[in-house]
Structure 1
Amino acid sequence: MISAHERLIIRRYLTPGQGEGFIFLVAGISLVAVALGVAALIAVMSVMNGFRAELFDRIIGLNGHAVVQGYGGRLDQWPQVVADARALPGVTRAAPMIEQPLMASASGRVEGVIVRGLTLADIKANPTIATNVRGGSLDDLVPGGATVAIGARLAEQLGLRVGDEISLINPAGRSSPFGTVPRIVAYRIVAVFEVGVYDYDKAFVVMPLSDAQTLLRLDNAVSMVEVETTDPDRAAAFLEPLRQKLAGIAVVSDWTRSNAALFSAMVVEQTVMFWVLSIIILVAVFNILSSLIMLVRAKTRDIAILRTMGASRASMMRVFMAVGTLIGAAGVASGLALGFLLLRFRQPLVDGVSALTGTNIWDPSVRYLTLLPSKTDPVEVLGIVVLALGLSFLATLYPAWKAASTDPVTVLRYE
């Protein structure tokens, strides 16, 4: 425990005395450096956590936790597959789906698209699509009515709005004496959605399942069955019986296989960024170390007098350890406030920097997501605080030991 007279000395050493302005300046720089390091770590790690969480939610929200895909892109016995999947423990939903890359044209422009056919109930029950409609209404999707919903970026690229027509081109059309003639069908746009993932918003065309079957000439077949489970991380285990049953008929693939490279790269990047940014705190800690060493040298005579008055070595160590730790703690507290402030205004800051520089620093075509995400992990924040305080405490040990080792006889010999 720190005694009353030790607290008095600590308060005295935390304020600059005569001729100690430079030492106080170095201590202030140390505090600012710790604050910047902590703020940078909190902001960057929260953004990366948010990026992973948003990407995961949106990718899984559109693609499910797993898919059962027929060989050759055709699954004729899908009603039985759906029934078998729904009967498995841990499976919450199984729905037939058609997904096929095609070409789309409008007003002389042509873009590659991904046509996705779902039942109306599944389209409206998908929160990733249903809660992100930016124009029109999913209620206007009618089987057999030649209606579709498209992504917002695709609408921008083709210059389309709700009520306009878009033509879908299926290369596998009808045969003629001159070869295969592509099948071209015009559809009316009744809804525009924006899920927030650029690659999806610029490519997806959603339509009723029966219309997709007609367009792709699949009769009553589908291309895959989408499956959702109670726990995405255990999707492969839940569907293992189905995978064994469908061996040679269809392929069961969970989200970890489909997006393994992307999420593994994000984990590696997050780990590397944490340790790289931790170097900022380490540099700040060295500043605390140097400022304490200078403070000990400046206070050598005071320390010697205190020792002759009865102050123990342990008391001197506690004083200087407390001074350094308090500087680090003040930096951590400032860093927490600054970090959360940056996260609170992250999007306006990005927009402001983009406006000042004339460059889109958060290009959704590169970053996948439309907006800068954030998700703060309390455990991670606690780890950053402990790391900063721990390093600050370690930096005080050597100066405190030097102060405690001061020989009052040697220092005051000629006083």
Structure 2
Amino acid sequence: MLTPFERMIAKRYLWPGKGEAFIALVAGISVGVVMLSVAMLVLVMSVMGGFRSEMLDKFAGLNGHAVVQAYGGKLDNWESTLEQVLATEGVVTASPLIEQPLLASLNGRAVAIFVRGNTAEDIADLGDKVLLGDIASIQPDSGKVAIGSRLASNIGARVGDTITIINPQGRTTPFGTSIRQVGYEVGAIFEIGLYDFDETFVIMPMQDAQTLLLMGDSVGLIEITVTDPDNVGEILKPVEDALVGRAVIADWKQINSTLFEALEVERVAMFFVLSFMVLVASFNILSSLVMLVRAKTRDIAIMRTMGATRRSLLKIFVTTGTTIGTLGTLTGLVLGFLLLYFRNPIVDGVAFLTGVEIWDPSVRFLTSLPVRVDPWEIIGITALGIVLSFLATLYPALKASNTDPVQVLRYE
């Protein structure tokens, strides 16, 4: 704790006098650099955390945290496997699905699609993602499907139009294999928020997908959602052992391993690089304190002769430098949160001024810039800024405390 005398001197040194404008300028620059570096750390780490979290949520919303994949693409007697999965501790939900790449055409325009057969419950869960149409109209044998917003734009489909889905694996006849071409009415247009899915997915009831793909009562996959996505492998280990020889389990880490590993490496690298900005700012604090100590050498000597201890001088200069670093850190947090709040208008403004689309959903997967603020990361960034500022004060503070008043005042 500071004594009233130490607090008064530290406060005085935080506002250099008229003849010390250069010291004040360096101190102001130190605050500004700490502020900007902390703000950039908060912005980058929150955006990258949001990117990872948003992609995981959207992938999990479509394929769960893991899927059971049968050898050959057809899972027979899937009901018993589903019961076994649901009985596993840590499993929240599990449901069958069918997913198959096919072709779709409308008005002479053909595109590659993914036909997805879902249960009625899973289709109903898309209700908040629907842009046009009625998801409740997607019922078995209704002849209606739901398609992604990008797919609808690419082929010019609207609600009520009929698209033709082409399955090259048709029935075998004496004259060869006939290609199946089935027309489906567009009952709803949805937007998941993942560009590739919105561009290719066609969702229909499970029974209609089984009929289209000639799968009988079989399904292709069982999607699983667990309580702890990061430990999905350990949770599903008993199920995986029981399905050896029949099927394999692929979790979200394996399915999207390249993407999520790249995100993690980039996240760590960005934190490491941006941390150097805080380190550079701490050197500015060090230089401003060194100049302050040199400018106040006579004052320090006078205080020593009046009874000020070396410990008091050490506390005064450590407090001065740490206060500068803390002020920069706190203003950096405020600036970082402001940038996060106005991130989308800022991105749109930069794109308008430069004429370049910064956030291209076809490249970034997501249609908007996501953010996830991790309280522990914010605490770590705050601690980093304050600790580095504190360490930067030690040398000049020790230099001030070791000042010999006899040597300084000899020639005064």
> Separation in 2 of the partners of 1:9 and 1:90?
60
Letter in 2 for 1:295: L
Equivalence map 1:103-118=2 (5 Å): 103-118=103-118
- Offset at residue 392 of structure 1 (A): 0.3
Counterpart amino acid of residue 29 in structure 1: I
Shift of residue 393, structure 1, vs aligned partner: 0.5
User: Taking structure 1 as reference, are residues 413 and 241 closer, same or farther at Cα in structure 2, changes over 3 Å only?
Assistant: closer
C-alpha distance after superposition, 1:141-184 (max 9, x if no partner): 12112111011111122222212222211111244676434222
**Partner residue of 1:38?**
38
Residue correspondence of structure 1 range 141-152 to structure 2 within 5 A: 141-152=138-149
Aligned to 1:314: 311
Distance 1:9 1:241, change over 3 A: closer
Between 1:166-175 and 1:86-95, the stretch displaced more is: 86-95
Q: How many residues align?
A: 412
**2:313 partner amino acid:** M
Matched, 1:329 2:326: yes
Q: CA 1:267–1:412 in 2, change beyond 3 Å: closer, same or farther?
A: same
Listed as ranges, the matches of 1:18-37 within 5 Å are 18-37=18-37
1:108-187 to 2 correspondences below 5 Å? 108-124=108-124, 126=125, 129-175=126-172, 179-187=176-184
Letter in 2 for 1:94: A
Q: Which runs of structure 2 are paired with 1:198-347 in the superposition (5 Å)?
A: 198-347=195-344
Residue aligned with 2:157, SS? coil
| Partner Cα separation in structure 2 for residue 87 and residue 40 of structure 1 | 46
Matched residue SS, 2:248: strand
Name the CA shift for 1:350/1:304 in 2 (closer, same or farther; >3 Å): same
Deviates more, 1:348-357 or 1:222-231: 222-231
**Residues 405 and 352 (structure 1), Cα distance of their counterparts in 2 relative to 1, 3 Å cut:** same
Unaligned runs of 5+ in 2: none
Partner of 1:57: 57
* Cα root mean square deviation, aligned: 1.6
CA distance in 1, matches of 2:110, 2:288: 65
Aligned pair in 2 of structure 1 residues 402, 355: CA closer, same or farther (>3 Å)?
same
SS where residue 303 of structure 2 aligns?
A: helix
Give the aligned residue type for 1:208.
Answer: P
Q: Which amino acid aligns with 2:151?
A: L
Indicate how the Cα distance of structure 1 residues 18 and 244 shifts in structure 2: closer, same or farther if over 3 A, else same: closer
Deviations 1:98-135 (CA, angstroms, capped at 9, x unpaired): 100111112222221111001222321x3xx2321111
Deviations 1:246-288 (A, max 9, x none): 2222222222222233222222211111111111111111000
TM, length-normalised to structure 1: 0.95
Q: Are the structure 2 counterparts of residues 173 and 28 from structure 1 closer, same or farther at C-alpha, using a change threshold of 3 Å?
A: same
Q: Paired residue for 1:16?
A: 16
- Where 1:153 maps in the other structure, the secondary structure is helix
Q: Match of 2:356, SS?
A: coil
Please give the alpha-carbon distance, in whole angstroms, between the structure 2 residues aligned to 1:6 and 1:80.
75
SS of equivalent residue, structure 1 residue 173: coil
Is residue 388 of structure 1 aligned with residue 385 of structure 2?
yes
Deviates more, 1:219-228 or 1:193-202: 219-228
* Residue of structure 1 aligned with 2:402, choices 399, 405, 408: 405
Alpha carbons of structure 1 residues 156 and 304: separation in structure 2 relative to 1, 3 Å: same
Task: Name structure 1 gaps, 5 residues minimum.
Answer: none
Counterpart of 1:64, as a letter, is G
Is 2:67 aligned against 1:67? yes
Asked whether 1:350 is paired with 2:308, we answer no
Percent identity over the alignment is 56
Q: Could you tell me how far apart the structure 1 residues matched to 2:236 and 2:407 are? A: 79
